[in-house]
Amino acid sequence: MATTASAAPDAASLLATRILELERERDRLITIIDILSEISGTLHFVDILQTIARRLGQTFGLDRSSIFLADRGARTVRLVASYEDPSIRNLVVDLARYPEIRRAMDSGETVFIADATADQTLQHVKGALTRRKVRSITVVPIKYREAAIGCIFLRTFKDGEPLSEGDIKFTQTVADLTAKALRNAHRYESLIKRTRGIEADAEASHRADIERVALVAYLQKLLEIFAQHDRTALEQLLPNTSTAELQRLVGVTMAVLAEEAKG
C-alpha cells in the first residue's frame, strides 16, 4: 500500500510537469505566429529585428534581448535591435568585450552560459553582471548559407525563469525565421534601389531628349532670323566679336535649354 500511495503523488507530479511543458509549447507557438504576423507587415529589416527582439524579451521576461549583425573584418558587430532600449539601432560593439558573441559567430553554434557571473571568460564584466543580477546568457547565431551573419543575444535575471532546452530550441527556430526575413528584406531593398536607378536613368534620358529637341528648335529659329538679315553684314561683324563673348552666349543658350528641358 505504501508503494501505491507514493506512486500516486509521483504520477500527479509528472502530469503537472507535462501540462506545464505543453503550456510553454503553446506559448512558443503563439509567439511564432505573432512574430510572423508582425513582420509580414514590413520589409524593412530594422523593423523586423526590433519586433523579434521585443517579442523574445516579452516571452521570456529577459534582462536583455538583443540582435547583432556582423561587420566586415569580424572584429565588431552592430547592435541593431534591443528590447530594453528600442532607440538603439546601429551601435558598433567591439567583440573583445563580448567573447560569448565571438564564440557563437566563429563557431556557428549556440552558446549557453548557465551561470554568467561564474564563467571565466566573463570575469572582466563580473561586477556589471552582478549588479544587473544576471543569471544566464544565451547567444544563438543567425545563419545564412551556414555562415553566421549575426546573432540573437538573450540574458536572464537570477530571480527569473531559467531558459529550458525547449526555450533554446525555440530561439534557434526564431533565428532561422530571422535569417529568412533578412534575406527577403535585402532582396526588397535591392529591388527598390535598382528600380530607382532605372527611373533616374529614364528621367535623365528623357531630359536629354527634350534638350536636343529644344536645341534643334532654337537653331531653326536662329537660322530663320539670320536669313532675314543681310548675311554679308552679319559675317563682317562676326570677326569683331571676342571669343569670350561667344562662349558667354553659348553658356546662356545652354542654360536656357536646360530650363526648357525641365518643362
Task: Write out pLDDT tens, residues 171-227.
Answer: 998 998 888 888 776 665 564 566 666 666 666 666 766 666 666 665 566 556 555
Q: Are 21 and 77 in the same domain?
A: yes
Least confident interval from 13-22, 111-120, 129-138, 250-259:
250-259
Q: Is residue 24 part of a domain?
A: yes
Q: Are 130 and 163 in the same domain?
A: yes
Task: DSSP for 73-103, please give it.
Answer: TSSEEEEEEESS-TT--SEEEEGGG-HHHHH
Q: Are 21 and 147 in the same domain?
A: yes
Domain membership of residue 207 as a residue range: 193-261
What is the pLDDT confidence band of residue 12, given thresholds at 50, 70 and 90?
A: confident
Judge contact between 58 and 43, C-beta under 8 A.
no
pTM of the full structure: 0.63
Nearest to 77 by CA among 98, 97, 99, 94: 94
Residue at a domain's end among 151, 185, 219: 185
What pLDDT, in 10s, does the model give residues 30-74? 777 777 777 666 667 788 889 889 989 988 889 899 999 988 777
What is the pLDDT confidence band of residue 79, given thresholds at 50, 70 and 90?
A: very high
Q: Are 137 and 254 in the same domain?
A: no
Q: Are 124 and 213 in the same domain?
A: no
Per-residue model confidence (pLDDT) at position 83: 93
What is the pLDDT confidence band of residue 140, given thresholds at 50, 70 and 90?
A: very high
Q: Are 239 and 181 in the same domain?
A: no
- For residues 232-243, give the mean pLDDT: 53
Residue at a domain's end among 185, 208, 224: 185
- Gap between the Cα atoms of 182 and 251, Å rounded: 50
Q: Are 180 and 118 in the same domain?
A: yes
Per-residue model confidence (pLDDT) at position 23: 77
What pLDDT, in 10s, does the model give residues 156-168? 998 888 888 889 9
CATH of the domain at 19: 3.30.450.40
Q: Which residue has the higher pLDDT, 115 or 36?
A: 115
Per-residue model confidence (pLDDT) at position 154: 96
Full strand arrangement of the beta sheet holding 111-113: 91-94, 76-82, 64-70, 147-157, 134-144, 111-113
Q: Are 244 and 131 in the same domain?
A: no
Residue 9 reports pLDDT greater than 80: no
- What value does the mean pLDDT of the chain take? 77
Q: How many domains does the chain have?
A: 2
Judge contact between 151 and 139, C-beta under 8 A.
yes
> Who contacts 203 (Cβ-Cβ below 8 Å, separation ≥6)?
none
171 alpha carbon, distance to own chain's centre? 19
Phi-psi sector, 255: left (phi>0), alpha (psi -120 to 50), beta:
alpha
Q: Are 155 and 203 in the same domain?
A: no
Q: Which residue has the higher pLDDT, 16 or 38?
A: 16
Q: Scan for cell 526590433, then name that residue.
A: 50
Q: Are 219 and 171 in the same domain?
A: no
Residue at a domain's end among 148, 168, 185: 185
